[in-house]
Amino acid sequence: MGQELWNAVDAYVDGLLVAPDPALEDAARANVGFELPDIAVSPAQGKFLHLLARARGARTILEIGTFGGYSAIWLARALPEGGELVTVEYEESFARAAGEHLARAGVADRVRQLTGRALDVLPGLVGDPAAPFDLVFVDANKPDIPEYFDWALELTRPGSLIVVDNVVQGGAVADPDHPDRGVRGVRRFLERLADEPRVEATTLQTVGAKGHDGFTLALVTG
Ligand SMILES: C[S@@+](CC[C@H](N)C(=O)[O-])C[C@H]1O[C@@H](n2cnc3c(N)ncnc32)[C@H](O)[C@@H]1O
């Protein structure tokens, strides 16, 4: 009953609170063209990120992991006039698809797409006019999350938010002996976070159309 019930609740809530939007719906289907599972955030999660960015008054946002541009559209739409989203993607074909979706959504003018391996691209953002970023959304490969968090800290300032997706991994994160590299990456990140005096953080489990997973939210304090 779990997944069926979670889908029903997401469908009910999305029907009330997330307005239909053909450009977003196109981006959400990017996985179909690439014969991949549905790896974008859900509509409710996309709107949650959008509201976080607006509540923070974010003028510049960094996203690690663009895929088809679904979360990028939500984040870009939270920006004020003159704001910028910088989004990093490793796969050129995904970046191209995202570019089309961002254009269709009417936000291409405020999004800078960087293509390459994030750990190669991120050092180039030190001193970039968009840095320090007001919000960083980490949603790429899981084994490297601890290093992405270190870069997020480097590229933000006190008051910035860092959001990391998929930190519960269907509950596997609670298993200290889990063999999966992604799960181990998440555990390494959470343990690193516990010792990091420059942030206040929490992790929320979520259920919904994307199964059982969760977000970490960290506020940069120092
Ligand atoms: C979960 S998807 C991103 C979904 C997107 N944020 C959304 O919600 O619409 C993760 C993306 O990270 C990309 N990725 C994986 N490893 C990467 C790396 N080392 N550097 C940059 N991007 C990477 C993948 O190609 C994939 O497109």
| From 141, 144, 163, 210, mutation site for ligand 1 pocket: most ligand atoms within 8 A of C-beta | 141
pLDDT at 36: 86
**Residues found in the chain:** 222
Centre of ligand 1 to C-alpha 22, Å, is 22
Q: Quick one: which of 86, 49, 160, 128 has its CA closest to 95?
A: 86
Residues with CB under 6 A from ligand 1: 39-41, 65, 67, 70-71, 88-91, 94, 117-118, 139-141
- Which residues neighbour 197 within 8 Å (Cβ) at sequence distance 6 or greater? 222
Which of 85, 90, 89, 64 lies closest to 133, judged by CA? Answer: 85
Ligand 1 centroid–CA 66 distance in Å is: 5
Distance CA 95, CA 73 (A): 13
Mutate to test the pocket of ligand 1, among 61, 87, 90, 215 (most ligand atoms within 8 A of CB): 90
Which phi and psi (to 5°) does residue 120 adopt?
Answer: -85, -35
Q: What is the pTM of this model?
A: 0.98
Per DSSP bridges, beta strands 211-220 and 161-165 are antiparallel
What's the 197 CA to ligand 1 centre distance in angstroms?
28
> Can you give the pLDDT of all 222 residues of the chain as single tens digits?
699 999 999 999 999 999 999 999 999 999 888 888 889 999 999 999 999 999 999 999 999 999 999 999 999 999 999 999 999 999 999 999 999 999 999 999 999 999 999 999 999 999 999 999 999 999 999 999 999 999 999 999 999 999 999 999 999 999 999 999 999 999 999 999 999 999 999 999 999 999 999 999 999 999
Q: 13-30 b/e with 16+ CB inside 10 Å = b?
A: ebeeebeeeebbebbbeb
For residue 64, the CA-to-ligand 1 centroid distance in Å is: 7
Q: What is the whole-number distance in angstroms between the Cα of residue 24 and the centre of ligand 1?
A: 17
What is the whole-number distance in angstroms between the Cα of residue 148 and the centre of ligand 1? 12
**Sheet containing 60-64: order of strands:** 111-115, 84-89, 60-64, 135-138, 161-165, 211-220, 199-208
Ligand 1, atom 16: closest residue by C-alpha: 141
CA distances from 140 to 41, 96, 129, 182 (A): 12, 17, 23, 10
